[in-house]
Amino acid sequence: MCKYLTILIVCLFIVGNGTVFAEPYSEPGSDYEECGNMWFDSLNVRFVGNWPFGPYSYVVTYDSVRSLAFLGSGGGVFILDASTPSAPVKLSEGIHTRDFVYGLFYDSLTQRLYTAGGHAGLEIWDVSMPDSPEKLGFYNTLYSAYALYVSGSYAYINDGHLFRVIDISTPSNPQEVGYFSIGFARGVCVSGQYAYVAAGGAGLKVIDISTPSNPQEVACCNTPGSSIGIYILGSYAYVADSEAGLRVIDVSTPSNPQEVGYYDTPGQARDVYVSGSYAYVADDSTGLRVIDVSTPSNPQEAGYCYTGYSYSVFVSGSYAYISATHYGLQIVDVSTPSNPQKIGNYSTPGPSGDVCVLDSYAYVINGGDGLRVLDVSTPSNSQEVGYCYTGDASGVYVSGSYAYVADGYSGLRVLDVSSPSNPYVVGTCPTPGPANSAHISGLYAYVTNGLDGLRVIDISTPSTPQEVVYYDTPGYARDVYVSGSYAYIADDMALRVLDISTPSNPQEVGYYQTDDAKGVYVSGSYAYVGDWDTLRVIDVSTPSNPQEVGFYTTPGLALDIYVSDSYAYVAYWNGGLRVVDVSTPSNPQETGYFDTPSWAYDVYVSGSYAYVGNGSAGLQIYEFLGAGIQESKEIVSHSRFRLLQNPVRDDYIKFELCLAQRDDIEISLYNLLGQRVKTLSLNSLSAGKHNLKLQTKGLSSGIYFLRFECKSNTQSLKVTIVR
């Protein structure tokens, strides 16, 4: 459903990627304390899984031995066979993280891939079998992990505030051994006993890491721009200095780095890779710049190639591999540096919007890329199985063997999805304005068409859909929901009710004035309308006289609503997913939420799961746990899960967890109101007995419930905290 046009101007003023997160704890926890999803603030809603791929390709790295490219895409990583540079092929999309992938490092000796995943921290993946990567371990950095470099048994991470040294000798249990307060920093490169850090406006910083537990800054070299990327070769540091281009710094004496030369690229230098006598600069909007650095004091441009918005570059042999944000992977032949030529590419998905779920498949609108079909039979590990390019997709409705796609100025497209792995267009009905959303009822598709109102299209023959009539609403028709003999239209400044008992002659019978209606859902006698930042509950039992009976306002734009049982699930754009209890329509109350990693555009509920179209972070899947939680009654003694003390009188709940096999675990602590107050997520925890603890600082005395969840089991224990 397209409710997004008016928010594009707002987007221009938003800084960052839209992630909303909880206030960080004042001190880092140990390996099992407050880790996992502490950054994603939530209440009574848990994360289940995701398909996190999207248009932002911030980073690429390469395995020169196996000709594999690892390409960041939103919150995931594609593993590509690039043995034929002109036609890279996807081998796997199995690497899913919880936030955006900003940094990658590949270790060819161990065949492990390390990810710097924003608020998801450091993750370690075994990619020895590229078609089935396996997550080995993770470390939750306190802030957002942007860049990393691995050398020996240590990973060096910039997390926006601190330079961290992580011992990765045991990949399943990485441990921080030291850190240094460095402020904002992006790129990092290690050579010998020094780490060289691109520290934004502070320029190049040199950190002595000879004692990993006590890294110390030994020198700094100011640069005129904002240092983002760095590469060390021989006695020189090559710095991508944003608006100041490429800077060449002599680091032969690490304690006294000195700039010796520069080349001011025409764009914003984001990253640099040096091979032989040439520095390859990812120069944002001006693509790849090839700089001759054979004379470090006088670097000169040898050639360039436009690749789109270039953010990261890796060179191997005669080819440069560039991550180009919305343009995915670009492969450039640099065998002739003065004339680099683009020869291949791999496109990444667009932003995920409207979602419809049927059986075990999620049909996801992917911006200008069309429709993607995801297998969500295992929600924790969703995989794309089918794709169809349509042109300008905005909304989707699936009925039977067909997906009806509101495809912008192309109108309504009818896709045969009887084989989810091979969706294809069988029919098209043009519309005069942009088709924004579609709702199917009987033999008709009701399509909102912006300033051209509502179009009624006969779909009795899917291959030849035909418009039978239109109704020109006064406003901008964004969304439509059909219930019984009425079509309810979110028409910008009003909710409009049309009698469609005779589909060829729709007639408005009533309306309710709104501020900026973007989405509508009807359940029973009520229409639930997303009206700017407010969920409005409107009594439509008398269609000719709709009346508001209640409302709920939260931060964010209410773009889409889905009502299930007595709860309204609301996609609140920058406010994430919100769950509102509407059992008393005159007094709706929020009972749950989850702050999504990107903007929440759409929500669809199927079974116990809420599927959120999350823009650049793909599809996110959540479960509402209800407004309260009770102790498991049928189990008195837990062989898998037991408290080691109760009541709790210190700052930790200590418990024992026994696993028969490796599993993903989530431990949550709830108060008597059903509010989740603490969470501990342990991904890929090994089999065996584990003595763990959950921090309780800041919690008052009282009764709580400790809930244990894994793929096959859920248990709850009552615990008393005494202060």
* Domain identity same for 439 and 388: yes
For the ranges 252-256, 360-364, 553-557, the lowest mean pLDDT is seen at 553-557
711: domain range? 640-721
From the CB of residue 426, how many other CB atoms can be counted at a distance below 10 Å?
Answer: 16
Q: What is the mean pLDDT of residues 693-704?
A: 84
Residue 26 has pLDDT above 60, yes or no: no
Would 495 be classed as within a structural domain? Answer: yes
Encoded amino acid at 407, one letter? D
CB 134 within 8 A of CB 160: no
- CATH number of the domain residue 706 falls in: 2.60.40.2550
Shared domain check, 373 and 306: no
Give the pLDDT confidence score for residue 629 in this predicted structure: 53
Q: Look up residue 697 and give its two tokens.
A: 């600082």
Question: In this structure, is residue 411 part of a structural domain?
Answer: yes
Show the DSSP H helices in 433-583 as ranges: none
Q: What are phi and psi of 368, to 5 degrees?
A: -70, -5
pLDDT band at 718 (very low <50, low <70, confident <90, very high): confident
Number of domains in the chain: 3
Span 141-153, average pLDDT: 93
Confidence (pTM): 0.84
The answer to whether residues 323 and 367 belong to one domain is no
pLDDT at residue 234 above 50? yes
pLDDT band at 18 (very low <50, low <70, confident <90, very high): very low
pLDDT digits (tens, 9 = 90+) for 576-590: 999 999 999 999 999
pLDDT for res 690: 82
Q: What is the mean pLDDT of residues 136-163?
A: 93
The average confidence (pLDDT) of the chain is: 91
CA 262 to chain centre: 36
What tens digit of pLDDT does each residue of 501-542 get? 999 999 999 999 999 999 999 999 999 999 999 999 999 999
Cα 363 to Cα 444: distance, rounded to the nearest angstrom = 20
Pair (327, 364) in one structural domain: no
Q: What's the confidence (pLDDT) of residue 15?
A: 31
Whether residues 401 and 502 share a domain: the answer is yes
**Confidence class of residue 674 from pLDDT cuts 50, 70 and 90?**
confident
Whether pLDDT at 142 is above 80: no
Pick the last residue of a domain from 591, 624, 655.
591
What confidence tier does 311 reach under pLDDT thresholds 50, 70, 90?
Answer: very high
11, part of any domain: no
Calculate mean pLDDT across residues 51-73.
98
CA distance 637 to 658: 13
CA distances from 545 to 304, 511, 512, 529, 542 (A): 65, 7, 8, 16, 5
User: Each residue of 246-273: pLDDT tens digit?
Assistant: 999 999 999 999 999 999 999 999 999 9
- The per-residue pLDDT for range 596-647, each reduced to its tens digit, is 999 999 999 999 899 999 999 999 999 997 765 554 433 333 346 788 888 8
> In the predicted model, is pLDDT for residue 352 greater than 80?
yes
Looking at the structure, tell me whether residues 501 and 648 fall in a common domain: no
Q: Is residue 67 pLDDT above 90, yes or no? A: yes
Question: Do residues 70 and 219 share a domain?
Answer: yes
Averaged pLDDT for residues 89-111 = 98
Given a cut of 50, whether residue 181 has pLDDT beyond it is: yes
Provide the pLDDT for residue 39: 52
Residue 31: pLDDT band with limits 50, 70, 90: very low
| Domain identity same for 444 and 567 | yes
Average pLDDT over residues 644-664: 82
The residue type of 215 is: P
Q: Does the pLDDT at position 306 exceed 60?
A: yes
Query: Six-digit token pair at 295?
Result: 């004379």
